[in-house]
């Protein structure tokens, strides 16, 4: 196993913060009881879950009772959409976008086969949706509109509050997949048009296997996982207390440091991006560079293919990702880049760098040191390198 990595793949997952890890340990060792038990040994743990819930609520500007712990972002997305559909049986229409995460897209495609009508909003070159298209798509039987807060591949941010206001004016429910945004963008759900919001622990330095579904107070929603009375009957299953407490700690850390950290991360990202564009010809950034997460850049290297770049990066322990077809196991390049109209060729040669607070300037230096030679090598092999 290798762990001397230069890890710039934080939109895939993040390292667990040391403070978060420390927070988990007691619940994996001595405090193993079930928080639902009557005895003090178990019952005392319920208050720990409440503390974690309160910390998460503070990060989101929500009420503690609006926070439901789940097992991951995908579960939260499924619970939001399926829960709303099942409590609104007469409404058969869903609106989402073409650039959503598979947790939403594949769910919607599944629902289409089961009698639902889904509108997939397109995006422009910068990755933005059209309000006009959204307005026209909203129907009297639209049950729910689900839009991501920030895109995992490009980092492009959707204006969710404005979208939400339009959605609410037409009486539909509004769900936001905020998996990539939480901890990177400040959010205040107390003044928001968002009804439901999904987030995932492992994208903000908590472990994998825990997530949150925010449900605005008063929202009519049926539970997705049915069983015991946990989470006030909204999500059955014995609480994953170690991970929930870990997520509470991660939320607390994010809340304390969001501005300073994002500033630091943004500076590193900007330096990386600027240097690549300056030193390597035939490169460009995919997506809006202004309305974008501070940690993400998606760069296309023309004439070469992304998997090759990643394999050569791997020799130096550099971990990034690509929108190329070859890295996905499918034969098509990224659906996000294709929806944005990025030419196939450039989509095949796209690399996503996603940073976190644990990256350092010297890591950025190392990437910038090895990248030009990697690109040069692959372009020397390519039949398409510009000759004139």
Site residues, another protein (CB under 8 A): 303-305, 307-308, 311-312, 315, 324-327, 329-333, 338-339, 341, 343-345, 348, 380-384
Q: Could you give the C-alpha distances from 31 to 27, 236, 254, in angstroms and in order? A: 5, 21, 26
Burial letters 35-46, b for 16+ CB under 10 A, else e: beeeeeebeebe
Which CB sits closer to another protein, 18 or 341?
341
Which CB sits closer to another protein, 181 or 325?
325
Name all contacts of 238-242 with Cβ < 8 Å and 24+ positions apart. 238/34, 238/35, 238/36, 239/35, 239/36, 239/49, 239/69, 240/69, 240/71, 240/209, 240/210, 241/27, 241/31, 241/35, 241/45, 241/48, 241/49, 242/24, 242/25, 242/27, 242/28
Which CB sits closer to another protein, 204 or 304?
304
Q: How far is the CB of 77 from another protein (least distance, A)?
A: 22
Q: How far is the CB of 327 from another protein (least distance, A)?
A: 8
Q: Is 263 exposed, middle or buried (0-12, 13-18, 19+ CB in 10 A)?
A: exposed
Candidates 56, 46, 51; CA nearest to 76 is: 56
Which CB sits closer to another protein, 193 or 354?
354
| DSSP of 183-195 | TTB---GGG-S-S
Q: What element of type H or E holds 214?
A: strand 211-215
The token pair that represents 238 in the structure block: 């014995």
Q: How far is the CB of 93 from another protein (least distance, A)?
A: 17
Q: How far is the CB of 91 from another protein (least distance, A)?
A: 23
Q: How far is the CB of 123 from another protein (least distance, A)?
A: 11
Tokens 């998996």 belong to 179
Which CB sits closer to another protein, 91 or 379?
379
Q: How far is the CB of 165 from another protein (least distance, A)?
A: 28
Q: Catalytic amino acids?
A: 326
For residue 126, how far is the Cα from the chain centroid? Answer: 18
Which CB sits closer to another protein, 218 or 329?
329
Residues 6+ apart with CB under 8 A from 73: 101, 103, 177, 179, 198, 199, 200, 203, 211
SS (H, E, C) 239-277: CCHHHHHHHHHHHHHHHHHHHHHHHHHHHHHHHHHHHHH
Q: How far is the CB of 35 from another protein (least distance, A)?
A: 38
Q: What element of type H or E holds 121?
A: strand 117-121
The token pair that represents 290 in the structure block: 């202004």
Which CB sits closer to another protein, 129 or 221?
129
Beta-carbon neighbour count of residue 116 at 10 Å?
A: 17
Q: 196-200 and 211-215: which strand pairing?
A: antiparallel
């Amino acid at each position: 196993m290798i762990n001397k990595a230069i890890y710039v793949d934080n939109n895939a997952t993040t390292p667990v913060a040391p403070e978060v890890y420390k927070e988990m340990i007691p619940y994996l060792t001595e405090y193993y009881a079930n928080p639902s038990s009557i005895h003090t040994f178990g019952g005392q743990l319920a208050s720990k879950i409440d503390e974690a819930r309160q910390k998460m609520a503070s990060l989101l500007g929500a009420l503690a009772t609006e926070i439901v712990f789940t097992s991951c972002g995908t579960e939260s997305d499924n619970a939001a959409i399926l829960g709303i559909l099942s409590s609104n049986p007469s409404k058969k229409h869903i609106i989402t976008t073409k650039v959503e995460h598979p947790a939403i897209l594949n769910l919607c495609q599944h629902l289409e086969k089961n009698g639902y009508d889904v509108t997939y909003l397109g995006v422009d070159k910068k990755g933005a949706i059209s309000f006009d298209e959204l307005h026209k798509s909203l129907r009297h039987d639209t049950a729910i509109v689900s839009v991501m807060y920030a895109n995992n591949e490009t980092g492009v941010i959707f204006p969710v509050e404005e979208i939400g206001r339009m959605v609410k004016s037409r009486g539909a429910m509004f769900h936001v997949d905020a998996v990539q945004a939480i901890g990177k963008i400040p959010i205040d759900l107390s003044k928001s048009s968002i009804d439901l919001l999904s987030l995932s622990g492992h994208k903000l330095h908590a472990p994998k296997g825990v997530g949150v579904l925010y449900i605005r107070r008063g929202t009519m929603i049926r539970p997705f996982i049915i069983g015991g009375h946990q989470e006030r009957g909204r999500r059955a299953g014995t609480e994953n207390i170690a991970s929930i407490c870990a997520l509470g700690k991660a939320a607390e850390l994010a809340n304390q440091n969001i501005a300073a950290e994002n500033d630091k991360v943004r500076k590193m990202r900007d330096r990386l991006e600027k240097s690549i564009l300056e030193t390597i010809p035939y490169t460009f950034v995919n997506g809006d560079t202004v309305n974008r997460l501070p940690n993400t850049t998606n760069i296309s290297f023309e004439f070469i293919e992304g998997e090759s770049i990643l394999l050569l990066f791997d020799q130096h322990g550099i971990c990034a990702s690509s929108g190329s077809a070859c890295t996905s196991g499918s034969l098509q390049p990224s659906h996000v880049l294709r929806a944005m109209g990025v030419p196939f060729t450039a989509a095949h040669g796209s690399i996503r760098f996603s940073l976190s607070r644990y990256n350092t300037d010297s890591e950025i230096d190392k990437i910038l040191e090895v990248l030009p030679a990697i690109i040069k090598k692959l372009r020397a092999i390519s039949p398409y390198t510009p000759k004139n």
